Structure formats: C-alpha cells, structure tokens
Amino acid sequence: MATLPLEEITFTNSFADELRGETNPNRGSRQVPGYAYSRVAPTPVADPHLLAWSDELAATLGLAHPPERGPAVDTLAGNLVLGSMKPFAARYAGHQFGNWAGQLGDGRAMSLGEITAPDGRTWELQLKGAGPTPYSRRADGRAVLRSSLREFLCSEAMHYLGVPTTRALSLVATGDAVVRDMFYNGNQRPEPGAIVARAAPSFIRFGNFQMMAATNELDNLRALADYTIRHHYPELGEPSPDVYLRWYEEVCRRTAVMVAHWMAVGFVHGVMNTDNMSILGLTIDYGPYGWLEPYDPDWTPNTTDFGHRRYAFGQQPQIALWNLARLAEALSPLIPQPNDLRAGFDEYTQTLAATRYDMTLRKLGLTPRNLAADQDLLNDLLDALTEAGADMTIFFRQLSHVAPALLAAPDAEATQEARFQELLVAAAYTPLPNPAYGPLLNWLPRYLDRLREETAGPDAIRQGMLAANPKYVLRNYLAQNAIEGAEKGDLSYLNRLFQVLKTPYDEQPEHEEFAAKRPDWAWDMPGCATLSCSS
Ligand SMILES: Nc1ncnc2c1ncn2[C@@H]1O[C@H](COP(=O)(O)OP(=O)(O)OP(=O)(O)O)[C@@H](O)[C@H]1O
Ligand SMILES: [Mg+2]
C-alpha cells in the first residue's frame, strides 16, 4: 500500500474544532477555567534524530519510514508544525493516589491533530515531552530518554500481546539534556532528552470529565461527553441521557477487559490515577510500570507507592472500579437519576470476572466445565504461585509445553514428577527443594487430571496454551539494558528487543536470552525491579 511521508499528511482537528479551547499564546502555568484545552506550540529542540520507529503502526497510518533526520522527524520532535495541525494540550484533572489533585492537564503531552488512516479510521497523534504548556505547573514539559524508551517499547509490546493500549509511532532523541533527580534524593543530573509520538483514537481520560464536573462547567462536560460518543462510540446513537448511561456501561466493560488482560500477562501499570485512565479502555501512560517476575499480588514497581501499595498488581481490579466510580460522579450531572450509573459497576464486575475466568482457563488449556470446581483450581493455583514466588511468565509458558506432553506420553505416570520438577526449577527464584513450592507441586497433578477431561488432543491444547502464554514480555531489566545501550548511542539491543517483542507468543529459540528470568544483578538495580516516577 502507498505510504506518505509524515510531512505530506493533512491533519484534521476534531477535538480542537468541536470543543471550547483557549488560544492564549501565553505558556505560563495557570488555571484554565472554561476550556477543554489550550492551543499550544511545541518548543523546538537542538538536534532531533530518530531512534526507533514502529513500522507496523506506520503502515496502519499510511506513513513512510522517515530518514534519521529531516522534516518528518522534525515534526515528531515538535520542531516543525504542519499547516494543517492545531496543536493543543488538554485540560484534565484527577485523583492521584486516591486524593483529589484538581487541574492537572497535559503538562508535557501535546496533541498535533488527527490522521485519517487508509482504512478510514482516525488516529490522534500526540507528542510526549515537547515542552511546557499552561498545565506544566513547575515542571519543564520534557521527558528523558529512559522513560521515553520505556513508553515506546511497552506501548508496542502490549499491542503485540493483544492488550488494549495506546500506541507509539516513534522515539526521537532531542539532542538536549533534561535535568532529573532520578532517585528523589537531591542529586540532580542531566540526562538525554527524548520525545515519543504516540497514537490512539483519542487520549481523553476520566480526568477530562472530572475537570468539568469539579468546576461545574456543565456545558463543557456535556460537549465533551457528546464529542466522545459521536466520535468514539457512534454505535450507541445520538447522545441523550439514556445514551450517556449505555456509554458509561460500555466504558466500564472496556475497562474490565483491559484490566483482565493486565492480570493475564502480569502487567502492573504502577500509577492508576484517574488522569491515567483512558475513556476508550486503553492502557495509557507508561510510567513506573512493571512486569511481574516472581508472582506476587502485592508487588508494585513504583517506589512512590511503596508505603500503601495502592497500585500493586493484585489491587488493579478494585482500583479500576474505584476510578470508574469517580468517573460516574463526574458524569452524574448529565443523568436525571444518577443512581442508574450503578449498572456500570455491575457491568464492570461481571465482565472482569468472566473475562479473567476465560483468560485463565485458556492459559491452562481448559474449557469451561464445572464452574465451582474450576474456580477452586484456579484460585489454588494463584495462591500456590504466590507462596512459591515463581516467575509468572516462565511458569505458564513451560506449563504450555509440559502439560500437553504429559497427556501424550504413554509412560506419563513415571515421567510426570520429573517433568514437574524441571518446570519448577525453570521458574524458581530460589534453590529447590523449597517448602514454599509444596503447594505448587501438589497442584500440578491435580491440574493434569483436570486437563485429561478435555476432549481436544494434546497438540491442539499446546497450540492454545502457547497462544495464551507469552514467552517474551518486557521485563524491566530488558528495558534497562536497552536504555543503557541507547544512552551510549548503541541501538542494537533496543532493535533486537523490539523485534522479539513483536511476536511474543512465538518460540524464537534464537532469542532465548530475552526470555530469561530476572538475573541476580537486576534485583537491586534501579530501573530493573523498581522505578521512581521521575521521568
Ligand atoms: N516533566 C513534566 N513537565 C510538565 N508536566 C509534567 C511533567 N511530568 C509530568 N507532568 C504532568 O504531571 C501530571 C501527572 O503526570 P503523569 O506522570 O501521570 O503523566 P505523564 O507521564 O506526564 O503523561 P501521560 O499521562 O500523558 O502519559 C500530568 O498532568 C503531567 O502532564
Ligand atoms: Mg499521566
């Protein structure tokens, strides 16, 4: 299919054209009452050059691969604003760590406008780190290479895993230094700056609605809801109080599906504030996220959250519901009987339970049979994994090979115990035998008996399990290796890692090193197991 260089694309600007925005060129931080956004201009950078590019997303958008330097990359760095673009920073508010934070807004993100893809769908293109806006408060509007690289890679990795997410088109180095206190310990240092161009049908967050409700701007609230429905939920029909209710239920449903996916692959978002919740049910804001390595519902990578563990892995389902309740409050002025919004909570709870059940069964190669007994089997597995602290990804991936093989083996009884031992050694972070692995060892034969009840043959079961249990996820230490290379100007590790993450369910035996459990050196190394919000 024909592609165009980015600089030849004509952008549309539905958000800027249809909603009320301020055009004040003043970039000073301030409250922006009465408006859904502020028109802004990116601040140019010294030497924009391309570090990474998502070919597949570019193909979807109909964009040609740009050279390392030139007008396309200048556009992706904010140095060039095309005539058809109306860049803006959205005004949103939010609850951060459970507390109302008031106006936040795009302090370093800027939307450039929308691209209509060859298939007719529209995508908003947004730069993250393109300079200050009225919402920057005391910060600089910039992003460092390490956090931008993490956002670029993880957005795309999540897409390839099948998780609903915003996408990333490019990672561009700015040539400017950005000063950060990475450990919040008073030691500031200059780091290389970078800008990610991300794409999604829309970047509207729960917090955009909260902002309007908090300041009682009901016309703006209604306009934003109507805009969202008309452009992104047109199947619901023309906005009306009844349609608002159905829309809210659909947001709840999509959010549940997103969280179920996170739980299935071991993704921890790390900072599920309401301003980081997409109204489209997409994973948004790849900041201090992490991937479960030792299975532990209490784990969070975010050092800022070590005290309360509000956003730990196992908390995510209930935090999403808490956030949805804040969204319901924001939408209630639009609804004659706000209590009707409660139907969305049930939608969330039921969809989450059903989707998680479904996804976990698929991870185990099972089809629904006896709900109560199977629930027990699944719950016991999660308890056993927690007690063992086994590597989640390796455990499920190895099981996808071992369990079907045992079904097929004529001398299964004899080999079973040895195969289970091997599986646990592969996934264990402690030397075995270890009593913490007892429950898992007991669970495995029970599971195998249940698997024998399946009618599908071992091969079909193995195929299904391999398609549900990724071999390659973006372990934090892998991202850290890519960062260290990129900071030294060596992109080879980043490129190889990105390539591997594009087919995470494939075996790719030549890339085994990217499937390795967290190495010893990475346990205490910043960026590898824990992260601060400094980005
Ligand atoms: N360096 C910065 N300069 C200006 N504003 C910032 C900066 N870092 C964060 N902010 C703002 O602080 C708020 C909370 O930040 P948070 O870490 O959730 O978002 P983010 O990582 O900047 O971006 P996003 O949610 O768009 O992915 C947001 O309003 C964000 O724009
Ligand atoms: Mg954010």
ipTM score here? 0.99
Q: Which residues are annotated as a binding site for ATP?
A: 105, 107-108, 128, 140-141, 198, 205, 285
Catalytic entry in 74, 106, 275, 305: 275
pLDDT-derived band at 412, boundaries 50, 70, 90: confident
Provide mean pLDDT across the span 74-92.
98
Token pair in block for residue 187:
């030691």
- Ligand 2 centroid from CA 169, angstroms: 18
Q: Give the residue, by CA position, lying nearest to ligand 1 atom 20.
A: 285
Which of helix, strand or coil describes residue 40?
A: coil
Return the closest-CA partner of residue 29 out of 135, 157, 187: 135
Pocket of ligand 1 contains residue 305 by CB under 6 Å = no
The pLDDT of residue 27 is above 90: no
285 alpha carbon, closest ligand? 1
What is the pLDDT, as a whole number, of residue 409?
Answer: 86
> Ligand 1: which atom is nearest the Cα of residue 147?
21
CA distance readout (Å), 337 to 217, 244, 321, 342: 19, 12, 20, 10
Q: Which amino acid is present at 401?
A: H
Compute the distance between CA of residue 243 and CA of residue 250 in angstroms, rounded to an integer.
10
Return the closest-CA partner of residue 23 out of 8, 13, 12: 13
Read off φ and ψ for residue 520, nearest 5 degrees: -55, -40
Return the minimum-mean-pLDDT range out of 43-57, 274-288, 354-368, 520-534. Answer: 520-534
For residues 484-518, one letter each, b for 16 or more C-beta atoms within 10 angstroms of the residue's C-beta and e for the rest, the string is ebbeeeebebbebbbebbbebbeebeebeebbebb
What is the pLDDT, as a whole number, of residue 12?
Answer: 98
Which of helix, strand or coil describes residue 167?
A: strand
Q: What is the pLDDT of residues 194-251, one digit of tens each?
A: 999 999 999 999 999 999 999 999 999 999 999 999 999 999 999 999 999 999 999 9
- Ligand 1 centroid from CA 103, angstroms: 12
The pLDDT of residue 14 is above 90: yes
Q: Which amino acid is present at 505?
A: Y
Provide mean pLDDT across the span 450-467.
97
Mean pLDDT (the chain, rounded) = 97
Pocket of ligand 1 contains residue 104 by CB under 6 Å = yes
The answer to whether the CB of 509 falls within 8 A of the CB of 401 is: no
- Residues lining ion ligand 2 (Cβ < 5 A) are 276, 285
The pLDDT of residue 492 is above 90: yes
What is the pLDDT, as a whole number, of residue 113?
Answer: 98
Q: Give the residue, by CA position, lying nearest to ligand 1 atom 19.
A: 285
- Ligand 1 centroid from CA 165, angstroms: 18
- Ligand 2 centroid from CA 144, angstroms: 15
Q: What is the pLDDT of residues 303-339, one digit of tens each?
A: 999 999 999 999 999 999 999 999 999 999 999 999 9
**DSSP bridge pairs for 96:** 99
Q: Which residues are annotated as a binding site?
A: 105, 107-108, 128, 140-141, 198, 205, 276, 285
Compute the distance between CA of residue 15 and CA of residue 243 in angstroms, rounded to an integer.
20
Q: What is the pLDDT of residues 63-75, one digit of tens each?
A: 999 999 999 999 9
The answer to whether the CB of 281 falls within 8 A of the CB of 164 is: yes
Token pair in block for residue 84:
């058809």
**Is-catalytic flag, 275?**
yes
What is the pLDDT, as a whole number, of residue 526?
Answer: 85
pLDDT-derived band at 527, boundaries 50, 70, 90: confident
Compute the distance between CA of residue 378 and CA of residue 100 in angstroms, rounded to an integer.
37
Compute the distance between CA of residue 229 and CA of residue 115 in angstroms, rounded to an integer.
19
Q: How many CB atoms neighbour CB 460 within 10 A?
A: 13
What is the pLDDT, as a whole number, of residue 149?
Answer: 98
The pLDDT of residue 1 is above 80: no
Which of helix, strand or coil describes residue 81?
A: coil
> Ligand 1: which atom is nearest the Cα of residue 126?
26
Q: Which residues are annotated as a binding site for Mg(2+)?
A: 276, 285
pLDDT-derived band at 529, boundaries 50, 70, 90: confident
- Ligand 1 centroid from CA 338, angstroms: 31
For residues 171-200, one letter each, b for 16 or more C-beta atoms within 10 angstroms of the residue's C-beta and e for the rest, the string is bbbbebebebebeeeeeeeebbbbbbbbbb
Q: What is the pLDDT of residues 375-411, one digit of tens each?
A: 999 999 999 999 999 999 999 999 999 999 999 987 7
**DSSP bridge pairs for 122:** 116
Helix H, strand E, coil C: the string for 497-519 is HHHHHCCCCCCCHHHHHHHCCCC
pLDDT-derived band at 105, boundaries 50, 70, 90: very high
